[in-house]
Structure 1
């Protein structure tokens, strides 16, 4: 009995000493939060506020951060972040997160750009005493992660990613949150151990499925390529889901090629280039009235133009100031009318040219596209107006007759008053 009591007393004393040493060596929640704030600012040059920090070691090490915000004009905010790590890798001084869960993250574009090129900010601490595990993060779950672009348009996303070693997603899903006007979902499924993923996109009531692949060069640079096929994607639904509007309505079909290069995922995103050869049949120009533009022989705003079909090629190129859009080989058909042209969109400004061909002796009416996406303009070019003026001066009535004739023909083709007979003026010499 005495021996047992002595053993119990000794054990209790040892536990008390160990607890005291642990309390002395392991920082409190407040101390650990202060360390994290100081380390973050030292590495990035940007201050950090942590509203709350809680950690535990049983059954596995777990860290929870709450109400985190960077000290910027438009702060990056995290409502809650939870991290879980395995004991084994910690004891081996290897950094690995088995589970990461984030909720309520706000990412203003300008504030995120302040962290570009700061790769050292995420390097292991301790001057090499710690190393990064081949699988640094195994699972990520996130809800209400909001990207805020330069126009203050906020888009919220939910999703999850399961990683293989070396940051290769084994599977991933990204969803627009409940505020989207129609369901939007992106899924990636890795094909074996290859750097190739089956890519499934549900958007605009249709699909945009295909395959993407990643290649790594000897210098470590990355090349991302993809081939996707849009099928019956409603353009207006697609754009509304991302807080945008569109000058074209209809369902698009076609083929998209993706290419991006860079040293990391961020660089791939910033260099992304796509080329889509598309067909929209039938289609509607929701901001333009071709008949009105030709008939008025001046600048025209607003209106709609129904089309039997619209085909062309769209190139998009990511830039530091937004995405540049280039439409080429555009061809629109409506009855016996054909319109061809090209257009460029950047920073919501429009610039383009359209030539309208009509049978029955009128060919190649040139139109100029300008203005902005919110207030587009369509007008006859200076050359067309000069030609009409010269025709009127040389042979009075000719220029006016040409304008009237074109206007009546286009109006009839685009659903105008079909009962009204077309008046014929003298032909241009």
Structure 2
């Protein structure tokens, strides 16, 4: 915050060195050169002129900063207090920055700047206003924002109000110790990166100090449920983030539409999790995400597959379609970049119990084994099922081991008891195989 304000103050101070109401064409190159030296980056000014209305001011048009125009500004209006122009300390009642655009690279050289630029002329700024500021970051859709800030003695921030142009996001910023306190409020706001998660409401309190952001609290309502979280974000040469979160009562059928157009799962989702990110640049954050989420879904339906039917028919061609109702589904979601794994799955529903794990490839393909136990009388018969297909079109069918076990048991002891014993033996074999697979 101090560094960004410093860029504006340096440019404004240089402009006020030029005598007010004197033709400025001669001075542009000199101003660009001095500004470039102080900011450590190439500075280009399209034009500089003075206006009397609506108030006396100097206008900079088409300002560009950086080797690759990392900062572009349509106009900077510098509004001085006329009585201070011939004083040792120049006072500006306001600086108004219109339509600035910042690329990701701009933050690299801004972070490298000292918080106070040495050798800058004595200058006091009363108010800073930014209109329609935009970020141009790959894979990041941040809404344009307006900023109104009042400055205290020494051009230190006294308070700032940030509002998105669409009115969905508001933030109040005030000094707090060596950094800044931020109170964020959002309504009907969509996550700017990754899945387009829609927050009905969000409240957060954060602390910004240098290149570290501490999210002390985050409380949100989304998809009929709630999300609470704490996190720490650090940036510089690399991006680091970590945090904890809890969900309660989320309608998973609505949230699941973020990854598939088809209805995959319904019920109320709750759980706790942790996440971390270590990436060389923000655009690669999703590829370096590690997340573990222990979850449960109550009174739901697994759509696209009927586990009871698949376990009962013992058809090699497998089963598609249908649905499985359950009282509770629990497990562990593990995400490592684009790799997703559902582990320790347990499904409970009346006469049905199932357990296992499934991996989901970056292309959405499924690979896993789920053992379905069906209650027949007082005996539970377990059938290992291979899970395959895709998220949109899942398929389950008995594993080759299950088919072989059922056939051998039936041949030796006949249908019924023989088949059940064969399936039980096959289930044991699958568990032993699973132990070795997990060690890979």
Same fold by TM-score greater than 0.5:
yes
What is the CA distance between 1:284 and its match in structure 2? 1.1
Q: 1:389: which partner in 2?
A: 407
What is the CA distance between 1:190 and its match in structure 2? 3.0
Distance across 1 between alignment mates of 2:323 and 2:122 = 67
What are the superposed Cα offsets for residues 173-198 of structure 1, whole Å, 9 maximum, x if unpaired?
Answer: 45554898975333321379994511
Distance across 2 between alignment mates of 1:306 and 1:91 = 73
Aligned with 1:345 (options 360, 375, 379): 360
Aligned with 2:398 (options 380, 397, 403): 380
TM-score by length of 2: 0.58
Segments of structure 1 that go 5 or more residues without pairing to the other structure are: 1-15, 71-75, 77-87, 113-132, 145-156, 407-429
Distance across 1 between alignment mates of 2:406 and 2:131 = 67
Q: 1:301: which partner in 2?
A: 320
Distance across 1 between alignment mates of 2:198 and 2:222 = 7
Q: Is the 8 A contact 1:159 1:174 kept in 2?
A: yes
Distance across 2 between alignment mates of 1:203 and 1:184 = 5
Q: Is the 8 A contact 2:218 2:228 kept in 1?
A: yes
Aligned with 1:36 (options 58, 61, 64): 64
Question: Within the alignment, does 1:25 sit opposite 2:27 as a pair?
Answer: yes
Q: 2:99: which partner in 1?
A: 65
Q: 2:200: which partner in 1?
A: 184
Q: Is the 8 A contact 1:191 1:198 kept in 2?
A: no
Aligned with 1:172 (options 170, 184, 191): 184
What are the superposed Cα offsets for residues 367-405 of structure 1, whole Å, 9 maximum, x if unpaired?
Answer: 1111111111212111112223334555665699769x9
Distance across 2 between alignment mates of 1:304 and 1:104 = 46
Distance across 2 between alignment mates of 1:98 and 1:246 = 49
Residues 106, 191 of structure 1: CA spacing in aligned structure 2 closer, same or farther, 3 A cutoff?
closer
TM-score by length of 1: 0.59
Q: 1:141: which partner in 2?
A: 163
Segments of structure 2 that go 5 or more residues without pairing to the other structure are: 1-17, 29-44, 50-59, 80-92, 105-115, 143-154, 425-440
Distance across 2 between alignment mates of 1:288 and 1:103 = 49
Distance across 1 between alignment mates of 2:121 and 2:340 = 52
Q: 1:316: which partner in 2?
A: 335
Distance across 2 between alignment mates of 1:328 and 1:189 = 34
Distance across 2 between alignment mates of 1:215 and 1:107 = 18
Q: Is the 8 A contact 1:224 1:268 kept in 2?
A: no
What is the CA distance between 1:246 and its match in structure 2? 5.7
Distance across 2 between alignment mates of 1:385 and 1:94 = 82
Question: Within the alignment, does 1:356 sit opposite 2:372 as a pair?
Answer: yes
Residues 30, 234 of structure 1: CA spacing in aligned structure 2 closer, same or farther, 3 A cutoff?
farther
Question: Within the alignment, does 1:109 sit opposite 2:139 as a pair?
Answer: yes
Aligned with 2:77 (options 53, 56, 66): 56
What is the CA distance between 1:305 and its match in structure 2? 0.6
Alpha-carbon RMSD: 5.0
Residues 111, 223 of structure 1: CA spacing in aligned structure 2 closer, same or farther, 3 A cutoff?
closer
Q: Is the 8 A contact 1:201 1:207 kept in 2?
A: yes
